[in-house]
Structure 1
Amino acid sequence: MSKTGFPDKFTRRGAMGAAGAATLAVTVPGLAHTPGRKPNFLFIMADDLGYADLSCYGRREYETPVLDGLAAQGMKFNHGYANSAVCSATRVGLITGRYQYRLRVGLEEPLGDRSLGLDPAHPTMPSLLREAGYHTALVGKWHLGWLPDFGPLKSGYDEFWGCRGGGVDYFTHSVGGNPDLWDGDVQVEEVGYMTDLLGDRAIEYLDQRAAEDKPWLLSLHFTAPHWPWQGNNEEGRAESARLAEHGPTIPGSLDITHFDGGNMETYAAMVTSLDMNIGRVLTRLAELGMEQDTVVVFTSDNGGERFSDNWPFTGIKTELLEGGMRVPFIVKWPGLTLPGSETDVPALSMDFLPTFLSAAGSAPHPDYPSDGMDLRSVLAGAVPEDRYLFWRFWAKDQRAARKGDYKYLHIAGEEYLFNVVADPLERANLKFRLPEKFAELKGAFDSWNEGMLNVPEARSYRFTPRELADHFGWDS
């Protein structure tokens, strides 16, 4: 390990040693992608999972053997970023391959205004892959707008099974007594723990695809470990029943956030259940003989929240400090990634659209060019030239830009320059020591920001400022 808390740079010898030493949840012999066949894409996204919430990224309180095994089989990004420090905005960036600030829906979090959503006319990862001959499905969380105007089936997915909102009770699959579980555009009822149900549905999807000679995209977007804090155990069931019976613990608050709920044991149960269900899906993928032709990605929609481990960073979800944006980022690409490899190249959620489309022999729509980059050369071990990356969030008037080792940050009226490689905790403000670098990054942000939509002044949230402050942990 380096002095900054990150593993030393990748070497072939180190990678092979790591791969040999790892105990894999799914044993994989040497795999090679079938020549001439378009790859399948299994894109797995966790919800509110912090950078160090997997044991392969440093978690000490529990183990995640399946995802550790995935990292040992593919490439682990040490500088993987979400497009935003909040949920819906990152999902806009992911599905469009563009900075979310280009779309009205990408400016909102929480997404409380039901008149807002992802415009069905906007090209998306699933719609563009479908045009390239893919079958597409979303299993899990959507959170990009409500019926009748918005939904997964309107934005490129052939199938959808999951929830439309930001989070649901893991047992009742409802929010405030309102059910939010759907099969396509039909509301359904199921008995079971939400993480298990999503794993079940993903396996059903794989079984269906095995009978077809057609490439596919499965977006498997788990709700775990997003609140409510409920493990798949008797304690979790009791907490679900308590919420259903008594409702909010604070008058006027969202019931499933239950600010007095949760503990480390519960959080560990939620993450290890997530890991186990991903293992079920990967095992089925291998049993069906599709593993060698499937790219598997795992990441999170933003940094961690209440019980997450974001070390070695400060900041949490909603903050443009590294802890709010840096996330686990693992890719296994048969025939491309070397087992046990790592990279320090920064990558963003929106990079997957151009990456997947290029591999599928397609490209972004010319009227909607991607702001991301094709990661395949990085996945093969290359280190491209540094690029600028940008973030913005309306709360606390936050702005950030990164290029190379340096990051510009504006938050709550103060400005900073950090070397996030040498100083991942973002403690030493270098703006006076390195004024030219500070001016460069600030100027780059200002120029980029001129091309983005303005943050709306009026908001129609169904949340009060106090509820937002309590939920996100902001100071009064």
Structure 2
Amino acid sequence: MDSSRHQSQARPNLVFILADDLGYADLGCYGGRAPVSPNLDRLAAEGVRFTDAYANSPVCSPSRFALMTGRYQYRLRGGAEEPMTGRARGQQHLGLPPEHPTLPSLLREQGYRTALIGKWHLGFPPHFGPLKSGYGEFYGPYGGGVDYFTHCDRSGTHDLYEDEREVERSGYLTDIISERALNWLQAAPADSPFMLSVHYTAPHWPWETRFDEAESARIRGAIQHTDGGSVETYQTMIRHMDEGIGRILDVLASKGLAENTLVVFTSDNGGERFSDTWPLSGKKMDLLEGGIRVPLIARWPARIPPGGVTAQVAMTMDWCPTMLDAAGIAPAATHAPDGISLLPCLADPAQASPRKVFWRMKYRAQRAVRQDNWKYLSVDGNEYLFDLSRDARERANLASREPGMLDVLRQCYQDWAQEMPDIPAEAGFELVYTPKDMP
């Protein structure tokens, strides 16, 4: 065997599984109170579980910009949309620029097969799309939430595509995504490394399980956020996703690929209205911990010891440099990552490096910094300081007791913000809840 083929076979396969709006404590391995995740719990037992992992944003699209680029989403105009909704259709400035280096484009340049199965949410054709940003194959919706049976968005626009061709397909979307991922893996050649992104829409609203096609018919595909749903429905939606993930893991094992495949599971932001985020407070849209802290599990038997738990602070954007590092590929010299490689922590979960990370949100003028166990939070001009090691629920404001630390973190935020483009005044914003939604 020649050395180039041996090197190709030695490089790991990469499977990145992304849930949508999953709460920090929804899974059993994170203390979940319902048996919804036996396969993800198994994945955690066979790999490493992060206790202090974060999404780059408390809403969908911005976190996906960070995942794809390895950089703070604020560096790109599209990353200022919170989230990117149907108003982005046809817009030339609201999307992931095709010329920007991405995780799949850099991998593909070095011989990886790449595919995205599931939600894109980074801009619409003809200007943007997965095939323009490094994926060799795509199957899923271009936009955000869609009905699980009609596959239409809130405006009633059908949104299911194979590559750049609209397709009609009957069935429950979570199962369709799982089945398509299984088929792709079954057909994967043994002598070529691959990156497979499986981006579920579950458990994002509308609140529909596999057995709720009648609910879809009732709302006539005009998906509803607050009309309907329950904790039981939400938990069943997670269980459907978990079943598909279990089948993906089984295929990797049956093909002899599990040992040298890095599998990562996380969520694009914190939990929604029916999710469990205990002991955290806040939900999606908030820079409180419940809006940004997410489950994160990684398994790679060749490199990660089983049963690990780490307090390493990690963010969505870290997976671009981490997976490139795992594949022996350098980031683009023209676009230095803001994220870090987590490989040292994956190999030794006890090895947690000090970290300083930042967030900002147009909604309610939110801004936040985490440095070690300290967190600075500003909401509507009100400032808070929390010691997360003692108060993960963020109930004890230490701003007046620790004015020196408050000053330090406030200045850290201001210095960081100077490096980021301003949020454009015209940047769109969509409320997840309106005042009439909640008591």
Scaled to the shorter chain, the TM-score interval is over 0.9
Whether the 8 Å contact between 2:36 and 2:239 is mirrored in structure 1 is yes
Partner residue in 1 for 2:253: 286
CA distance in 2 between partners of 1:47 and 1:288 (Å): 28
2:361 to 379, 393, 407: 393
Deviation at 1:212, TM superposition (A): 4.1
For 1:305-344, list aligned pairs within 5 A: 305-344=272-311
1:212-240 Cα deviation digits (max 9, x unpaired) = 4110000000000000000111xx11110
Q: The residue matched to 1:178 in structure 2 has which SS?
A: coil
Whether the 8 Å contact between 1:84 and 1:325 is mirrored in structure 2 is yes
Question: Which amino acid in 1 is paired with 2:60?
Answer: C
Question: Which amino acid in 2 is paired with 1:445?
Answer: Y
CA distance in 2 between partners of 1:472 and 1:421 (Å): 36
1:38 to 8, 11, 15: 11
Partner residue in 2 for 1:228: 206
For 1:164-203, list aligned pairs within 5 A: 164-175=142-153, 176-203=155-182
Question: Which amino acid in 2 is paired with 1:125?
Answer: L
Q: The residue matched to 2:181 in structure 1 has which SS?
A: helix
Q: The residue matched to 1:214 in structure 2 has which SS?
A: coil
Partner residue in 1 for 2:3: none
Partner residue in 2 for 1:68: 41
1:106 to 37, 56, 79: 79
Is it true that 1:219 corresponds to 2:194 in the alignment? Answer: no
Whether the 8 Å contact between 1:405 and 1:419 is mirrored in structure 2 is yes
CA distance in 1 between partners of 2:88 and 2:169 (Å): 28
- CA RMSD in angstroms comes to 1.8
Whether the 8 Å contact between 1:81 and 1:327 is mirrored in structure 2 is yes
Deviation at 1:474, TM superposition (A): 8.2
Residue 412 and residue 472 in structure 1: after superposition, are their counterparts in 2 closer, same or farther (change >3 A)? farther
1:442-466 Cα deviation digits (max 9, x unpaired) = 11111001111111112456x6xxx
Partner residue in 1 for 2:4: none
Deviation at 1:68, TM superposition (A): 0.3
Partner residue in 2 for 1:428: 396
2:321 to 329, 345, 354: 354
1:164-195 Cα deviation digits (max 9, x unpaired) = 01011101111233210000000001111101
CA distance in 1 between partners of 2:280 and 2:417 (Å): 26
Partner residue in 1 for 2:312: 345
CA distance in 2 between partners of 1:383 and 1:439 (Å): 29
Partner residue in 1 for 2:140: 162
1:256-313 Cα deviation digits (max 9, x unpaired) = 1341210111111101001001011111111111111211000000001010000110
Q: The residue matched to 1:139 in structure 2 has which SS?
A: strand
Is it true that 1:416 corresponds to 2:384 in the alignment? Answer: yes
Residue 384 and residue 110 in structure 1: after superposition, are their counterparts in 2 closer, same or farther (change >3 A)? closer
Is it true that 1:207 corresponds to 2:186 in the alignment? Answer: yes
Question: Which amino acid in 2 is paired with 1:203?
Answer: L
Residue 379 and residue 354 in structure 1: after superposition, are their counterparts in 2 closer, same or farther (change >3 A)? same
Question: Which amino acid in 1 is paired with 2:175?
Answer: D
Residue 473 and residue 422 in structure 1: after superposition, are their counterparts in 2 closer, same or farther (change >3 A)? farther
1:422-456 Cα deviation digits (max 9, x unpaired) = 10110111112111211111111110011111111
Partner residue in 2 for 1:470: 434
Deviation at 1:385, TM superposition (A): 3.4
Which stretch shows the higher mean deviation, 162-171 or 333-342?
Answer: 333-342
Which stretch shows the higher mean deviation, 127-136 or 58-67?
Answer: 58-67
Is it true that 1:269 corresponds to 2:240 in the alignment? Answer: no
Whether the 8 Å contact between 1:83 and 1:90 is mirrored in structure 2 is yes
CA distance in 1 between partners of 2:70 and 2:151 (Å): 30
TM-score, structure 2 as length reference = 0.94
Deviation at 1:74, TM superposition (A): 0.2
Question: Which amino acid in 2 is paired with 1:238?
Answer: A
Whether the 8 Å contact between 1:51 and 1:310 is mirrored in structure 2 is yes
Which stretch shows the higher mean deviation, 131-140 or 382-391?
Answer: 382-391
2:216 to 240, 246, 252: 240
Partner residue in 2 for 1:126: 104
Whether the 8 Å contact between 1:350 and 1:371 is mirrored in structure 2 is yes
Question: Which amino acid in 2 is paired with 1:190?
Answer: R
Whether the 8 Å contact between 1:132 and 1:360 is mirrored in structure 2 is no
Question: Which amino acid in 2 is paired with 1:457?
Answer: A
Partner residue in 1 for 2:271: 304
Question: Which amino acid in 1 is paired with 2:292?
Answer: M
CA distance in 1 between partners of 2:219 and 2:179 (Å): 26
Partner residue in 1 for 2:340: 373
For 1:456-467, list aligned pairs within 5 A: 456-459=424-427
Deviation at 1:63, TM superposition (A): 3.0
For 1:134-153, list aligned pairs within 5 A: 134-153=112-131
Whether the 8 Å contact between 2:11 and 2:193 is mirrored in structure 1 is yes
1:344-385 Cα deviation digits (max 9, x unpaired) = 111001101111111111111111000011101111125243
2:413 to 439, 445, 451: 445
Residue 291 and residue 191 in structure 1: after superposition, are their counterparts in 2 closer, same or farther (change >3 A)? same
